[in-house]
Chain A
Amino acid sequence: MVIEEAVNGKDDMLIDGQMADQVLPSGFNLNFLNLYYAKLFPYGDIFKWMSYGNDGKHPACDKSYFGRRELSFTLENDIYLRFLSFNSVSELEKGIREKCPFKIDIGPVYSVDPSKRHAYAQSGENVFKPVERELIFDIDITDYDDVRYCCSGADVCLDCWPLMTAAIKVINTALRDDFGFRHILWVYSGRRGVHCWVCDGKARRLTNEQRAAIADYFRVYKGSENSKKKVSLTGHALHPFLVRSYTEVLKDLFEQTLLSSQQIFSTEDRCEKVLEMIPDESVAAELRGRWQKRSSGSKDDINAVRWEHLKHTLQSGRHKGQGLRRCVEEIVFSFSYPRLDMEVSKHMNHLLKAPFCVHPKTGRVCVPIDPVHCHEFDPTTVPTLSQLLQELNSGGMGQEGDNDWDRTSLGESVRFFRSSFLEPLLKACKEEMESAYNSKLQQSKNSLSW
């Protein structure tokens, strides 16, 4: 394709290697997206994932499974198409390339093909309802706006991104160790947050009530306009999950990173915000008084110093108030504990953006994040649409049958997606299917015996 033609919006899609050294304008446009969908979007991998093993040859496979999954497209001009479904990978590719959606959302697997839902009743036997859906989480950094001072709104930077890293660590560990889930995918949302897809069979079969219970298990922050203190940790001890989160992740995040990156005690206003969280006014007053006399000449970081003051005062044992028992932890939790969007997780029919979509506002691809190395993830270096197309161009023509994404930065993400998530998942699905099938066979054999 001639670059100028792409910029001018022509339909021709051939790549012209001679234009490689010309820089593409950054950003997002329909033609770039078209190219992306033509060359880079990993249809096969998404299809395999969403099939959960049902695309194989095994007699236990449910051929209707993929076709009962709802997808939705958001087109240019905010046109929204819901209850879409496809019966094969080629239909999926055709559908996406035809419509060139700005956003693709994935919904639940329904009892019947969603595009045929009107043929079914709302109640009784033949009902149209969701039957399987991954357990999902959505963490958005704007939910932390009251505790981050470096950015606000849609912006994100390396000073506040550690909040997302901490969220991933806390939730991921709990999902694995507490709930026993194994097949967990974390995805960058493209701008300012992360999504989590828990894909174990037992996760997909959870009821709304169970999903709500898990979301509530994770809930600590109860923000509202009316209360100054939004984290309240009552009880004589903390639940083991909270203890682990605190000692393994949050305490260090707060003390080693946030104190200075957010300059938490650097101004009077910011100090006051913390002092408001102390239920005993006399303690708060004591600290306030102490900090007003600002000692100049101290080389130490003022945030660290003041934090030590606060900890020392609250934990010294001098003040025995009820509310003070866990005050230090409450402050740490307020600034660092994950804030989930509860509604996303509670309902089976909630739609969530598909991995490998491109974010229209930033041009960045929604790439998977490795939870084990999430502290190394840098949202500012995630491949963008224009960057990828540039890489495609400069990579030259590959061999027939090669994956184009392999020649770009996207390759790393797709390879990671396959090796650490998709392959183990499909292996487990196959095993599950086989054992369920075999035990059914066994049962019918038994019932036939005289």
Chain B
Amino acid sequence: MEIVRRPQLKSTAIDRGVPTLPLYRSAPSLEVRLEDFELYAIDRLRVLTGISDGLSRGKRPEEMEKLVAELWKANMRHPQASEVMNKDIISHFVLRLVYCRTYGLCALSLDYCCFHFLAYRVRILAHREDLRKWFLSMETALFRYRFRLQTAEAQRAVLAEFQLPYKAVTTSEFEVIKDKLTLVARSINQTLPTADAIFYKVPFQEVPELVAGRRVFLSDGYAYVAMNQVVSLVATQFRSLLSKALTLTNRKWMSTIREQEKDRLTPIVEALSTSYVGPDYSVGREFGEVSLKDIDNVAKSSFPLCMRHLFDKLREDHHLKHWGRMQLGLFLKGVGLKLDDALAFWKAEFSQKVGAERFDKEYAYSIRHNYGKEGKRVDYTPYSCQKIISLTPSVGDHHGCPYRHFSEENLRAALCKMGVNSGGVEDVMDKVRHKHYQLACTLTFEAIHGCPNDAGINHPNQYFSDSQKILKSKVKCLRISFLVTSVIDLEFPPISTVHSLHP
């Protein structure tokens, strides 16, 4: 296997053994083994999900830097040192395929697709703009923190690659302007520049935002840009490159697929696009098994708000639209509701609206389908928070994440109904305002159960099982959180398990 090396890199960093950050400008001409195709992508997805999680918990930049280093180390290594770069690049490009898709018609593509993957045919699931945005944001964040972790030399190499005309300020220059740089830093409440701080001398036209905010010292047409400001610029460049590339990728794959591959399709990429890399909730757990007679009580005590809302609406309207049925139905499966009980449950509600016969004809099939008893017989996984947040309910829908979609008034009312006190409601609303929906749900959980939830909520079934654990045992909080964490460690599946979900 060979990587196509770009000449300028060869003469600088790589030769001296300095690892460089790839910019993913063009797809590599590589032959990839089928297994690696998927494995690498899943590993990278774990990194991206970890970043997403860290950001939604409001981690500070220094903490994120540490987290990224850990995630990268844990997931992106390879026994052969020479393969590390390959894995990085391949995994990125696979995920590009997965996440480039959006709804809507695309213009016919003109060029031949530039990827030369061996015998590989992929079906791209028609998927939400939100997931593409998520991918773009997470890859940019990944790039930003990896950039921060690089050596000064490697960073300069990246700047050169982007053809950003930035020169580092020499020590003697620095001495002359040090006082002014300190003033600027103090005026924007940043850390003061030390003797070894790196500054870049940039024509002021390149950094209009920094000039407009008076966040840089200007002299004779040059802006003196601090390292952390350079990171922002680099990240912005990366993001804009990737955004354009995703549009191109989309066009190319649309035309390739339409022309060639209507019939021989593989759902790997499709599965990857909705994959949730955490504990497997497709099968009901023992402690989560729920029977029909318990369901109302358990809904009140242990359902997260999204499912509680769907459940209440179902009881009220005796009906739910498609996505609502999917979201709640799969959740109930994950909670431990057996197929027969599920059929009885849905029938009891729907027949009040549409009649028993119509239920059997039109709705029962899809419930059995969810449990893998019909059609393709894929045992579908309950939706994770990531997936649910990405769904957008419209008129008459009740699915999606209420922290995201409810009006402030409605959300406050719903939280009160769940039993959150007024102080708790304010904390939750604060998280919502900052778009940290999963944190908001975690805080709700903590407020209702009176216990911290350090793991944070990533999945409605996790909320449920955490809740049930607390309720079933009367042990003190400290031991509970230990229990929850250790259980999650045990539950974290090996790769093969994830594979089995996607035949």
Indicate which residue in B180, B204, B212, B213 contacts A240 across the interface (CB closer than 8 Å). Answer: B180
Q: Is the CB of B212 within 8 A of A179?
A: no
Q: Is the CB of B214 within 8 A of A239?
A: yes
Q: Is the interface of A mostly helix, strand, loop or mixed?
A: helix
A237 within 8 Å of B (CB atoms): yes
Assembled-state Cα–Cα distance A370/B219 (Å): 23
B174-220 residues with Cβ-Cβ distance < 8 A to A are: 180, 182-184, 186-189, 204-205, 208-209, 211-214, 217-220
Indicate which residue in A181, A210, A237, A242 contacts B186 across the interface (CB closer than 8 Å). Answer: A237
Contact of A179 with B183 at beta-carbon distance under 8 Å, contacts A213-B211, A216-B212 already known: no
Contact of A238 with B211 at beta-carbon distance under 8 Å, contacts A179-B218, A210-B205 already known: no
Q: Is the CB of A179 within 8 A of B204?
A: yes
CB closest chain-A residue, reference B210: A213
B222 within 8 Å of A (CB atoms): yes
CB closest chain-A residue, reference B209: A213
Chain B residues positioned under 8 Å from A212 (CB to CB): 208, 212
Nearest chain A CB to B213 CB, angstrom units: 7
CB closest chain-B residue, reference A236: B186
A30 within 8 Å of B (CB atoms): no
Q: Is the CB of B187 within 8 A of A180?
A: no
A190-227 residues with Cβ-Cβ distance < 8 A to B are: 202, 206, 209-210, 212-214, 216-217
Indicate which residue in B186, B189, B214, B220 contacts A180 across the interface (CB closer than 8 Å). Answer: B220
Mask of A157-180 contacts with B, CB within 8 angstroms, 1/0: 000000000000000000001111
A352-396 residues with Cβ-Cβ distance < 8 A to B are: none
Contact of A178 with B184 at beta-carbon distance under 8 Å, contacts A214-B211, A216-B213 already known: no
Q: Is the CB of A178 within 8 A of B183?
A: no
A235 within 8 Å of B (CB atoms): yes
Assembled-state Cα–Cα distance A83/B482 (Å): 76
Q: Is the CB of A217 within 8 A of B183?
A: no
Interface size class of A (residues with CB under 8 A): 20 to 34
How many residue pairs link A and B with beta carbons under 8 A? The number is 59
Q: Is the CB of B212 within 8 A of A239?
A: no
Assembled-state Cα–Cα distance A50/B180 (Å): 38
Indicate which residue in B186, B208, B213, B214 contacts A209 across the interface (CB closer than 8 Å). Answer: B208
Q: Is the CB of A235 within 8 A of B211?
A: no
Q: Is the CB of A239 within 8 A of B222?
A: no
Q: Is the CB of A217 within 8 A of B211?
A: yes
Q: Is the CB of A235 within 8 A of B189?
A: yes
Assembled-state Cα–Cα distance A179/B183 (Å): 18
Indicate which residue in B183, B208, B220 contacts A237 across the interface (CB closer than 8 Å). Answer: B183
A285 within 8 Å of B (CB atoms): no
Contact of A213 with B212 at beta-carbon distance under 8 Å, contacts A177-B220, A179-B204, A236-B189 already known: yes
A243 within 8 Å of B (CB atoms): yes
Nearest chain B CB to A170 CB, angstrom units: 14
CB closest chain-A residue, reference B187: A235
CB closest chain-A residue, reference B206: A210
B221 within 8 Å of A (CB atoms): yes
Contact of A236 with B208 at beta-carbon distance under 8 Å, contacts A178-B219, A216-B213 already known: no
Q: Is the CB of A238 within 8 A of B208?
A: no
CB closest chain-A residue, reference B221: A180
Assembled-state Cα–Cα distance A211/B435 (Å): 33
Q: Is the CB of A217 within 8 A of B221?
A: no
Assembled-state Cα–Cα distance A292/B375 (Å): 90
Assembled-state Cα–Cα distance A240/B213 (Å): 13
Mask of A111-128 contacts with B, CB within 8 angstroms, 1/0: 000000000000000000
Q: Is the CB of A239 within 8 A of B183?
A: yes
Chain A residues positioned under 8 Å from B204 (CB to CB): 179
Nearest chain A CB to B318 CB, angstrom units: 52
Chain A residues positioned under 8 Å from B209 (CB to CB): 213
Contact of A217 with B220 at beta-carbon distance under 8 Å, contacts A210-B205, A235-B189 already known: no
Assembled-state Cα–Cα distance A179/B221 (Å): 4
Chain B residues positioned under 8 Å from A242 (CB to CB): 214
Nearest chain A CB to B4 CB, angstrom units: 27
Contact of A177 with B205 at beta-carbon distance under 8 Å, contacts A237-B187, A240-B180, A243-B183 already known: no
Contact of A206 with B218 at beta-carbon distance under 8 Å, contacts A216-B212, A235-B189, A238-B187 already known: no
Residue from A178, A210, A214, A240 having most chain B Cβ neighbours under 10 A: A240
Q: Is the CB of B220 within 8 A of A240?
A: no
Assembled-state Cα–Cα distance A415/B205 (Å): 34
Nearest chain B CB to A247 CB, angstrom units: 12
Nearest chain A CB to B354 CB, angstrom units: 52
A241 within 8 Å of B (CB atoms): yes
Q: Is the CB of A238 within 8 A of B212?
A: no
Residue from B180, B214, B220, B222 having most chain A Cβ neighbours under 10 A: B214
Indicate which residue in A235, A241, A243 contacts B218 across the interface (CB closer than 8 Å). Answer: A241
Q: Is the CB of B183 within 8 A of A238?
A: yes
CB closest chain-B residue, reference A238: B187
CB closest chain-A residue, reference B184: A239
Chain A residues positioned under 8 Å from B205 (CB to CB): 202, 206, 210
CB closest chain-B residue, reference A181: B221
Chain A residues positioned under 8 Å from B186 (CB to CB): 235-237
Nearest chain B CB to A240 CB, angstrom units: 5
Nearest chain A CB to B385 CB, angstrom units: 37
Indicate which residue in A179, A181, A236, A241 contacts B214 across the interface (CB closer than 8 Å). Answer: A241
Contact of A240 with B208 at beta-carbon distance under 8 Å, contacts A180-B220, A216-B213 already known: no
Assembled-state Cα–Cα distance A217/B221 (Å): 13
Assembled-state Cα–Cα distance A238/B188 (Å): 9
Assembled-state Cα–Cα distance A243/B219 (Å): 14
Assembled-state Cα–Cα distance A177/B219 (Å): 6
Chain A residues positioned under 8 Å from B182 (CB to CB): 237
Assembled-state Cα–Cα distance A202/B205 (Å): 9
Q: Is the CB of B218 within 8 A of A178?
A: yes
Chain B residues positioned under 8 Å from A235 (CB to CB): 186-189
Nearest chain A CB to B490 CB, angstrom units: 50
Chain A residues positioned under 8 Å from B220 (CB to CB): 177-178, 180
Chain A residues positioned under 8 Å from B222 (CB to CB): 180
Assembled-state Cα–Cα distance A235/B184 (Å): 9
Mask of A226-255 contacts with B, CB within 8 angstroms, 1/0: 000000000111111111000000000000
Assembled-state Cα–Cα distance A213/B204 (Å): 10
Chain B residues positioned under 8 Å from A179 (CB to CB): 204, 218, 221
CB closest chain-B residue, reference A215: B212
Chain A residues positioned under 8 Å from B217 (CB to CB): 239-240
Q: Is the CB of B187 within 8 A of A213?
A: no
Nearest chain B CB to A200 CB, angstrom units: 9
Q: Is the CB of A239 within 8 A of B187?
A: yes
Chain B residues positioned under 8 Å from A241 (CB to CB): 214, 218
Assembled-state Cα–Cα distance A235/B183 (Å): 10
Assembled-state Cα–Cα distance A385/B464 (Å): 86
Nearest chain B CB to A186 CB, angstrom units: 20
Mask of B86-101 contacts with A, CB within 8 angstroms, 1/0: 0000000000000000
Assembled-state Cα–Cα distance A242/B187 (Å): 10
Assembled-state Cα–Cα distance A312/B131 (Å): 59
Assembled-state Cα–Cα distance A217/B187 (Å): 14
CB closest chain-B residue, reference A205: B205
Chain B residues positioned under 8 Å from A237 (CB to CB): 182-183, 186-187
Nearest chain B CB to A177 CB, angstrom units: 7
Chain B residues positioned under 8 Å from A243 (CB to CB): 183
Assembled-state Cα–Cα distance A237/B214 (Å): 12
Assembled-state Cα–Cα distance A240/B214 (Å): 9
CB closest chain-B residue, reference A206: B205
Contact of A236 with B187 at beta-carbon distance under 8 Å, contacts A177-B219, A180-B222, A210-B205 already known: yes
Assembled-state Cα–Cα distance A30/B13 (Å): 73
Which residues does B use to contact A, with CB under 8 Å? 180, 182-184, 186-189, 204-205, 208-209, 211-214, 217-222
Question: What are 15 A-B pairs with beta-carbon distances under 8 A?
Answer: A178-B218, A179-B221, A202-B205, A202-B221, A206-B205, A210-B208, A213-B208, A235-B186, A235-B188, A235-B189, A236-B187, A237-B186, A239-B217, A240-B180, A240-B217
A-B pairs, top 4 by smallest CB distance, nearest first, are: A180-B221, A213-B208, A216-B212, A237-B186
Q: A217-B212, A240-B217 are in contact. List 9 more A-B contacts (CB 8 A).
A: A178-B220, A180-B222, A202-B205, A209-B208, A216-B212, A217-B218, A235-B187, A237-B183, A239-B217
